[in-house]
Amino acid sequence: MLKNEKILVTGATGTLGSMVGRALAKENEVWGLARYADPLTIERSQRDGIRPLAVDMALPDFASTPQDFTCLLHFAHTRLGADAFPEAVRVNAVGPGLLMQHCRKLKATLVVSSTAVYTPQADIWHPLAEGDPIGGAFAPWAPTSPASKLSLEATSKLAAEAFGIPTVIARLNTTYGPGRGAKGGMPVMDMETVLRGDPVRTFADPYPHSPIHFEDIVEQIEALLSAASAPATLINWCGDEVVTQREWCEMVGSFAGVTPDLQVQPLAGAPCGNVGDNRQRLALTGPCKRRFSSAYRELYDALITGAARV
């Protein structure tokens, strides 16, 4: 784990940003950048040992933002509708590029992108590798995400080379962990849907993923930062196992003694597979410590006892 660094975490009120900031604040000086529209989020960050920094990436004003951070961890992302592509690119790509320019003395930067940038493959089991085609994806749950994430990668690459900032761009796969609803990730949202007795609506079946647990994400940050370079390094940030959406729904069914109802509604252009090639990440971080089946069971037990964190 990182120690004695001055770290800026963007998206500090989000699920991953807050978790990462809280973990790193134990041994580092951590600042959290977010809009902080709700005063309660300021209090929560302060309780976690994070210094809140209110900045709106739509119209970023970095006048009160220190320039002497040693590490930048960029998790911030906004999901907007199909009628808001310019706004999404402004917030998700231009703002972060300007932030890197402002903090150009950084020793290392981690920019979180997404496997949603990959062009869907005919073979749904194909492990998407860093050199595979990009730009042909459609994300029905967040129409602007693929385009704005590609824009983020472009601005990050430019900032890395123009300002000599060692940068690693991590294309994040499906995440899961403690939390409810979207805060727990797609597998947890589906868990709650199955337990309510509602149908799980999907556009693909079996729909394979390479899920990674929140805690593995936190523990792998230092190793990923070690790969930061200028020009930027590109790495898939995914788990080590392939698990389908049907499989995790059926796991919940076996835990609870119910039969999950998956209703498939195909959607043209939507990716039917999200398997990541983990070889580059594995060489840096070593294997993930959480196996999906046991970690998912723990999340189920916490959920039904009311112990799942929000």
- Assigned superfamily of 6-174+211-237: NAD(P)-binding Rossmann-like Domain (3.40.50.720)
95-to-9, 58, 117, 154, 157 alpha-carbon distances in Å: 14, 7, 19, 12, 14
pLDDT in the model for residue 310: 42
By CB neighbour count within 10 A (0-12 exposed, 13-18 middle, 19+ buried), where does 192 fall? middle
Q: What is the mean pLDDT of the chain?
A: 95
Answer whether residue 307 shows pLDDT above 70.
no
What is the percent of the chain with per-residue pLDDT over 70, rounded to a whole number? 98
CATH 3.40.50.720 domain extents, the chain: 6-174+211-237
Partners of 30 in beta bridges: 7, 50
The structure's pTM equals 0.95
Answer whether residue 128 shows pLDDT above 70.
yes
Average pLDDT of the segment spanning 239-258 = 98
pLDDT in the model for residue 142: 75
pLDDT in the model for residue 308: 53
CATH topology of domain 177-209+243-274+291-304: UDP-galactose 4-epimerase; domain 1 (3.90.25)
Answer whether residue 23 shows pLDDT above 60.
yes
Residue 269 banded pLDDT, cuts 50, 70, 90: confident
Answer whether residue 130 shows pLDDT above 60.
yes
CATH 3.90.25 domain extents, the chain: 177-209+243-274+291-304
To 10 degrees, the CA torsion angle through 53, 57, 59, 61? Answer: 30
Q: What are phi and psi of 37, to 5 degrees?
A: -70, -30
Rounded Cα distance, 42 and 23, in Å: 17
pLDDT in the model for residue 288: 98
What is the percent of the chain with per-residue pLDDT over 90, rounded to a whole number? 88
Q: pLDDT, tens digit, for every residue of 53-105?
A: 999 999 999 999 999 999 999 999 998 888 888 999 999 999 999 999 999 99
Q: pLDDT, tens digit, for every residue of 156-205?
A: 999 999 999 999 999 999 999 999 998 999 999 999 999 999 999 998 99
